[in-house]
Amino acid sequence: MLRKFELRELIKIKNGKDYKEVVGGSIPVYGTGGIIKYTDSYLSDKESILLPRIGSLKNILYVNHKFWTANTMYWTEVNKEFANVKYLYYYLKLLNLSPRNTGSTLPKMTFDTYYDLEVWLPSIDEQEKRIKIINQIDLKIQKNNKINDNLFIDFLINRCLTVH
């Protein structure tokens, strides 16, 4: 049985910060397009869903490590009483956010446009069962991608760069 929520009941949205002054390091700084640079500072070390504020609205990201977000990206604290973070991430990835765009030139989302989203979730136990299955599939996809990368490198070295 699914339960209806407004996203505001499931997450607390936090603003990203300017990253231009941060010192280099190994912690990723995320913007709407992905990793921008690396720093030695972080905004959070908790599992989070990163939501685009300005730019491509499709680039919702999941992180489970220390991170910094630029001011083009929101980060979230998830209410784990009702939502598995990774499950909610996959759910949000499926949504078409374009109709909720509040920008005129660049696509833009505000706290309220996110908070007002209607979300239907199964029980937390059911979410966790489904995520176990999805995680197994993800691992297989990652393994296949690594094999494909190795095959491509092998092809380049053995076929294209070798002089006969």
pLDDT bin (cut points 50, 70, 90) of residue 164 is low
With helix as H, strand as E and coil as C, how does the chain read?
CCEEEEHHHCEEEEECCCCCCCCCCCEEEEECCEEEEEECCCCECCCEEEEECECCCCCCEEECCCEEECCCEEEEEECCCCCCHHHHHHHHHHCCCHHHCCCCCCCECCHHHHHCCEEEECCHHHHHHHHHHHHHHHHHHHHHHHHHHHHHHHHHHHHHCCCC
pLDDT for the residue numbered 162? 63
* pLDDT tens per residue, range 114-128: 999 999 999 999 999
pTM summary value:
0.85
* pLDDT tens per residue, range 3-14: 999 999 999 999
pLDDT for the residue numbered 145? 82
pLDDT bin (cut points 50, 70, 90) of residue 161 is low
